Structure 1
Amino acid sequence: MSQPRRTSRRRAWTVLTLPALVCGLAACSGAPASSGGADAAAPAQGASAPSASPTPSGPPGTLFDDFHYSGPDDPSLTAHGWQVRTDDGGPGIKGTWSTTGAGFPSDTTAQGGRILQLQASTDGTAQGTKQVEVQSTGTGLFTGTFAARIYLSDKPASGRNGDHLVESFYPISPADSSTNYSELDYEYMPNGGWGSVGPELDTTSWYKADPPDRVTHALKQHLEGWHIMMVTAMNGKVTYSLDGKELFTSSGNYVPREKMDIHFSDWFIDLPFTGGPRTWDTKVNWFYYKAGEAVSQTDVQKAVDGFYGAGTDYVNTVPKS
Structure 2
Amino acid sequence: MSQPRRTPRRRAWTVLTLPALLCVLAACSGGSPSGEGVDDAAPSTAPTPSGPPGTLFDNFHYSGPDDPSLAAHGWQVRTDGGGPGIKDTWSTTGAGFPSDTTAQGGRVLRLQASTDGTKEGTRQVEVQSTGTGLLTGTYAARVHLSDKPTSGRNGDHVVETFFPISASDASANYSELDYEYLPNGGWGSVGPQLDTTSWFKADPPDRVTHALKKRVTEWHLLMITVMNGKVTYSLDGKELFTSSGKYVAREEMDVHFSNWFIDLPFTGGPRTWDMKVNWFYYKAGEAVSQADVQKTVDGFYSSGINHINTVPES
TM-score, normalised by the number of residues in structure 2? 0.90
Distance 2:131 2:313 in 1: 8
- Residue 34 of structure 1 and its aligned partner are, at CA, apart by 6.0
Matched, 1:11 2:11: no
Query: Secondary structure of the equivalent of 1:158?
Result: coil
Deviations 1:235-290 (A, max 9, x none): 00000000010000000001110000000000000000000000000000000000
Number of matched residues?
295
Matched, 1:117 2:122: no
> Structure 1 counterpart of 2:4, which letter?
R
Contact 1:67 1:313 in 2 (8 A): yes
Query: Secondary structure of the equivalent of 1:307?
Result: helix
Query: Secondary structure of the equivalent of 1:78?
Result: helix
Which residue of the partner structure matches residue 29 of structure 1? 34
Give the counterpart of 2:58 among 56, 59, 65: 65
Distance 1:146 1:285 in 2: 14
5 Å matches for 1:146-165? 146-165=139-158
Query: Secondary structure of the equivalent of 1:112?
Result: helix
- Residue 138 of structure 1 and its aligned partner are, at CA, apart by 1.3
Q: Over aligned residues, Cα RMSD in angstroms?
A: 1.9
Distance 1:291 1:149 in 2: 18
Distance 1:220 1:178 in 2: 32
Q: Structure 2: state its 5+ residue gaps.
A: 14-19, 27-32
Distance 2:159 2:305 in 1: 31
5 Å matches for 1:214-253? 214-253=207-246
- Residue 77 of structure 1 and its aligned partner are, at CA, apart by 0.2
Aligned sequence identity (%) = 76
Which residue of the partner structure matches residue 257 of structure 1? 250
Deviations 1:99-137 (A, max 9, x none): 000000000000000000000000000000000000001
Distance 1:13 1:214 in 2: 23
- Residue 15 of structure 1 and its aligned partner are, at CA, apart by 7.1
Q: Structure 1: state its 5+ residue gaps.
A: 17-21, 36-53
Query: Secondary structure of the equivalent of 2:76?
Result: strand
Distance 2:10 2:119 in 1: 20
Matched, 1:86 2:79: yes
Distance 1:6 1:235 in 2: 25
Distance 2:230 2:35 in 1: 36
